[in-house]
Amino acid sequence: MSWHPQYRSSKFRHVFGKPASKENCYDSVPITHSVQDNHFCAVNPHFIAVVTECTGGGAFLVIPLHQTGKLDPHYPKVCGHRGNVLDVKWNPFNDFEIASCSEDATIKIWDIPKQLLTKNLTAFRKELVGHARKVGLVEWHPTAANILFSSGYDYKVMVWNLDSKESVIMSPVKTINCHQDVILSMSFNTNGSLLATACKDRKIRVLDPRAGTVLQEANYKGHRANKVLFLGNLKKLLSTGTSRWNNRQMALWDQDDLSVPVTEVDLDGSSGVLFPFYDADTNMLYVVGKGDRNIHYYEISANKPHLNYLTEYHSYNPQKGIGVMPKRGLDVSSCEIFRFYKLITTKSLIEPVSMIVPRRSESYQEDIYPPTASAQPSLTAQEWLSGMNKEPVLMSLRPGAEPLSPQPLPSERTLSMPTAPTSPHLFNQTESLVAEDGRRPFSLLEEKAPRWAAEHRQEEKKTWLSDGFDIFECPPPKTENELLQMFYRQQDEIRRLRELVTQREVQAKQLELEIRNLRMNSPRL
């Protein structure tokens, strides 16, 4: 057998990472020195929140997204916790509300003013008191408004309903007591009906978050999970951790059967925790290692092999934490499909890194931006608590588009081959191009010709384009990484052109036979 991997055609094969320029970074930011294995950063389209160092308690910074450059040493903080802040999360349905948890065993909900902070913010909107020990994680429910989950070092997961009018909530609506050690990670499926957790007792659990019952539990000894993640609606879980030989490892699981992983991938022998991030719109998985200088990314397939390695982004600075921009905050004009915010403690710097699909066209690329989750909840807190489940309210990322009505997401996406655009506007455009291509109106012969004959003329105009790039007019590469990307892109284009030539020869013969038959059947022609 050949050692060469099987060729896969993918529109995300040449995705590359583009770091922001120095003036577009956030400099002189006092990033926390906590050893907790958390992200320490939360981002939305208006603000970036970063856990910081603070004497006499815990605090975090809330910086407007546009306020780049050097940060004022006396920049106001959000402080009110009596212990170090361990995690912060923005409300997905309110860009001006954030939750924080701390070593003081409390969770606080903060309202961030739209104008710039002029002094330290100490007045919280709500305080949640229920954990007996420090609280390590908080997670908002993905579809229900005002539902918050927290996990603490008392081995409990608590469900909070923030619709209460009380400023201090002393008891959660549900407490889940099935864990035997500290919870290291929490993740929801798309509609929030299932909760997956990774625990320090080396077990992965899939829970019913309302009933608090364990639906599935992994007792596999060959993989020690640190982080777990639902892979959209593929009915699969991905966990990162270590193998029995202490190599960093990823494992893919069937959410209905956690007895044995579907596949395992060993990465390296480093010790930093791996943070996985999944983009359900593009089916891409990003793996970021704490203390690493690079970001690996993969494409997830419903068929074997499930994890298809694409490439990695290299950097000179190691990251301590990471933040991710929601899809609705991306720059679609530059074909940006994901954006990280790297916390670089060695330089007190926050560096945005954009993951970009190389396209020459500046128009909206509908094929890489399917409808995505919007900032509108599909359920109230009471509806979710009563047992209702709904898919997220979707929105188009096209500028000026409005949220779409709630609809079920597809269970699987076809990932092996790129799909062709199917909007009515593009079909109309194809027909008009075919009409303009001839020097006379449609004749009877053209009306009876098959549909692919019309599409043939449209494709001829894009023969030399690959993902929007003209392979003979690409700008000269500036780095070794760009040179490699250009080489692979040209190899892919050569393969595609060879296949296209063969297809054109077959189509030409078929078209010649169609014309001959039509002339025989239509004497007027």
pLDDT at 153: 96
Whether 283 shows a pLDDT value over 80: the answer reads: yes
Whether 213 shows a pLDDT value over 50: the answer reads: yes
Looking at residues 351-380, what average pLDDT do you find?
91
Question: pLDDT band at residue 502, thresholds of 50, 70 and 90?
Answer: confident
Q: Where are the alpha helices (DSSP H) in 355-449?
A: 381-385, 424-437, 444-448
> Do 94 and 215 lie in a common domain?
yes
Whether 454 shows a pLDDT value over 60: the answer reads: no
The enclosing domain of 324 has a CATH number of: 2.130.10.10
- Residue with the larger pLDDT of the pair 115 and 197: 197
Cis status, amide bond into 305, omega within 30 of 0:
yes
Q: How far apart are CA 237 and CA 432, in angstroms?
A: 46
Question: pLDDT band at residue 487, thresholds of 50, 70 and 90?
Answer: confident
- Lowest mean pLDDT segment, chosen from 7-21, 153-167, 342-356: 7-21
Does some domain include residue 463?
Answer: no
Does some domain include residue 408?
Answer: no
- Domain of residue 496 covers 480-514
Residues paired with residue 110 on neighbouring β-strands, in sequence order: 98
521: left (phi over 0), alpha (psi -120 to 50) or beta: alpha
Question: pLDDT band at residue 151, thresholds of 50, 70 and 90?
Answer: very high
pLDDT at 79: 92
- Lowest mean pLDDT segment, chosen from 135-139, 276-280, 422-426: 422-426
Looking at residues 446-472, what average pLDDT do you find?
40
Which of 331, 347, 372 terminates a domain? The answer is 372
Share of the chain above pLDDT 70, in %: 82
Which of 339, 372, 405 terminates a domain? The answer is 372
Whether 127 shows a pLDDT value over 50: the answer reads: yes
pLDDT at 116: 82
| Strand 349-356, strand 106-111: pairing | unpaired
Question: pLDDT band at residue 400, thresholds of 50, 70 and 90?
Answer: confident
pTM of the model: 0.75
> Do 365 and 485 lie in a common domain?
no
pLDDT at 349: 95
Q: What angle do CA 244, 245, 248 make, to 5 degrees?
A: 90
pLDDT at 517: 84
Share of the chain above pLDDT 90, in %: 63
pLDDT at 54: 81
> How high is the mean pLDDT of the chain?
83
- Residue with the larger pLDDT of the pair 346 and 423: 346
Q: Are 354 and 20 in contact (CB under 8 A)?
A: yes
> Do 346 and 210 lie in a common domain?
yes
Whether 135 shows a pLDDT value over 50: the answer reads: yes
pLDDT at 481: 61
Q: What is the CA radius of gyration of the chain?
A: 26
**Count of alpha carbons within 13 angstroms of residue 9, beta-carbon side:** 12
Whether 394 shows a pLDDT value over 80: the answer reads: yes
- Residue with the larger pLDDT of the pair 483 and 349: 349
- Ordered DSSP codes for 231-282: -TTSSEEEEEEEETTS-EEEEEEETTB-SS-SEEEE--S--SPEEEEEETTT
Which of 334, 354, 372 terminates a domain? The answer is 372
> Do 363 and 488 lie in a common domain?
no
Nearest to 282 by CA among 8, 11, 7, 18: 11
> Do 367 and 484 lie in a common domain?
no
Question: Considering its fold, how many domains does the chain have in total?
Answer: 2
Whether 410 shows a pLDDT value over 50: the answer reads: no
Does some domain include residue 290?
Answer: yes
Does some domain include residue 358?
Answer: yes
Q: How far apart are CA 278 and CA 298, in angstroms?
A: 10
- Residue with the larger pLDDT of the pair 468 and 297: 297
pLDDT at 452: 37
Name the helix (H) or strand (E) containing 514: helix 480-521
* Helix/strand/coil (H/E/C) assignment for every residue in 144-182: ECCEEEEEECCCCEEEEECCCCCCEECCCCEEECCCCCC
> Do 484 and 354 lie in a common domain?
no
Does some domain include residue 469?
Answer: no
> Do 365 and 487 lie in a common domain?
no
Looking at residues 218-225, what average pLDDT do you find?
90
- Residue with the larger pLDDT of the pair 176 and 495: 176
Question: pLDDT band at residue 422, thresholds of 50, 70 and 90?
Answer: very low
- Lowest mean pLDDT segment, chosen from 26-35, 112-121, 355-364, 406-415: 406-415
Looking at residues 322-347, what average pLDDT do you find?
95
pLDDT at 515: 86
pLDDT at 513: 86
Does some domain include residue 139?
Answer: yes
